[in-house]
Amino acid sequence: MESASNATPMLESAALLIGGAFVVVSLSVRLGVPAILGFLLTGLVLGPHVLGLLQEEGAALDALGELGVILLMFSLGLTFSWTKLVELRRLIFGIGGAQVGITAVIVALGANLLLDVSWPIAILLGAAIAMSSTALSIKQLEASGALGHAQGRTSIAILLFQDLATVGFLVLIDALQTASATGHGVEKGFFNALGLFAALILARKILIPLAQWIERSSNNELPQLLALFLVLSTAVGAHYAGLSPALGAFIAGMLISEGDARNVVEREVRPFRDLLLGIFFVSLGAQMDITILDQSFGSVLAWLAVIVVLKAAILAAILYLADTDAEVSAKVALILAHAGEFSLLLVSLSVGAGLLDNALAQPFLLAIGISLFVAPFLISLSARENLVPQSLCKMRRNQGR
């Protein structure tokens, strides 16, 4: 009876969490707002800083949320086919690389000079600002019918590079954490990542025939078991190698993205990913302390200006200098003028690894959350015609001649 009574508070919290998320996400969908914002708002309202109804379940939420991140990174790896990367290499690696690199460097310079943080941490802050939400952007572009237009194609290419760059920043976090904990150099983390990559290449020779056999079978449970075993075993292997489990899951997904195993695994992972990823965003929402607005309003506003205004200006300038139409440049800048789920991930992992001070992270997390709420309106604004004065567009066309 005692164990049953101990389980009751957890069951009550689970019912409260799922019920609250259902109500808030339903309202979000009804209003045309992405579900990610509903999950964040659920965590914010039910968390310790507002109603305080999820105070004792933080560890459980974090554990389930980590599984959601692992499945997200695995699914991301499945989307990175080498064919797609080669086909869009100019936009992805040219424009996308310039956007992430220049934004991260400019923000890192400012953070190092104004906030007196070390260069590695400053770079991670810049990287978090350089990211935008792939899920939110694609959903809004689909809703506005702009996905197939020039601004939609360019935005997707930049988002692809941002997603790919996230992996490199995860390696940096792992390397910095390893160096801090063991005293080994940062390069040890990169060598561990290469070692895991090599091990998974060898395992791929066994995985592909196994997936082909499972696909031919009529058993419904085997694909689910294979998918979850692959994701979790890779995450555990990465952990023992001193790396982020999410990084290991990404590498595993990328290695099977071109084979038959992808068809078997992808459809089985998605339901688990969507549910657990929602819990991850709930846990992040619960971490956002809106009570600090009284004393940190200026900091939150400054971070929000950097995320929305400075980031959009940098991207518009990069596109314009790359001979992109002025109207398209302005539209893409508005579409990506927000932070994303990987921004939240990089900040939360940096705090968890002891690299980023929580006092600095809290205003930053709030600014990221606010930018996500603002993003749908900015993307809707990008759908308008004649955002840029026609005189500027004509000047660009004349220069092109």
Residue 198 Cα to chain centre, angstroms:
25
Tens-place pLDDT, residues 16-56: 777 777 787 788 777 766 677 788 788 888 777 777 666 65
Q: What share of the chain is helix, strand, coil (3-state, %, to 5)?
A: 80, 0, 20
Indicate if the pLDDT at residue 107 is higher than 90: yes
Highest mean pLDDT among 26-35, 85-94, 193-202, 361-370: 361-370
Indicate if the pLDDT at residue 314 is higher than 90: yes
Q: What is the pLDDT of residue 125?
A: 93
Tokens of 398: 């004349």
Indicate if the pLDDT at residue 190 is higher than 60: no
Tens-place pLDDT, residues 215-270: 666 666 676 677 777 777 777 777 776 666 776 777 777 766 655 556 666 666 77
Residue with tokens 């904990």: 181
Mean pLDDT check: name the lowest of 3-12, 137-146, 330-339, 351-360.
Answer: 3-12
Indicate if the pLDDT at residue 315 is higher than 80: yes
Q: What band does 283 get if pLDDT is binned at 50, 70 and 90?
A: confident
Indicate if the pLDDT at residue 378 is higher than 70: yes
- State how far the alpha carbon of 259 is from the alpha carbons of 79, 222, 251, in Å: 12, 18, 14
Residue 150 Cα to chain centre, angstroms:
24
Say how far apart CA 401 and CA 399 lie, in whole Å: 5
Name which of 166, 164, 157 is nearest 95 in CA terms: 157
The DSSP line for 89-145 is HIIIIIIIHHHHHHHHHHHHHHHHHHS---HHHHHHHHHHHH---HHHHHHHHHHHT
Q: What is the pLDDT of residue 65?
A: 66
Kindly report each contact of residues 294-303 with a partner whose C-beta sits within 8 Å and lies 24 or more positions away, as own/partner. 296/362, 296/363, 296/366, 299/363, 300/363, 300/366, 300/367, 300/370, 301/367, 303/363, 303/364, 303/366, 303/367, 303/368
Tens-place pLDDT, residues 111-159: 999 988 888 889 999 999 999 987 778 767 776 777 678 888 888 889 8
Tens-place pLDDT, residues 154-182: 888 898 788 778 877 877 787 777 666 55
**Pure H helices in 241-260:** 245-255
Residue with tokens 């695995």: 74
Indicate if the pLDDT at residue 285 is higher than 80: no
Q: What is the mean pLDDT of residues 324-345?
A: 87
Tokens of 375: 């993003």
Indicate if the pLDDT at residue 7 is higher than 60: no
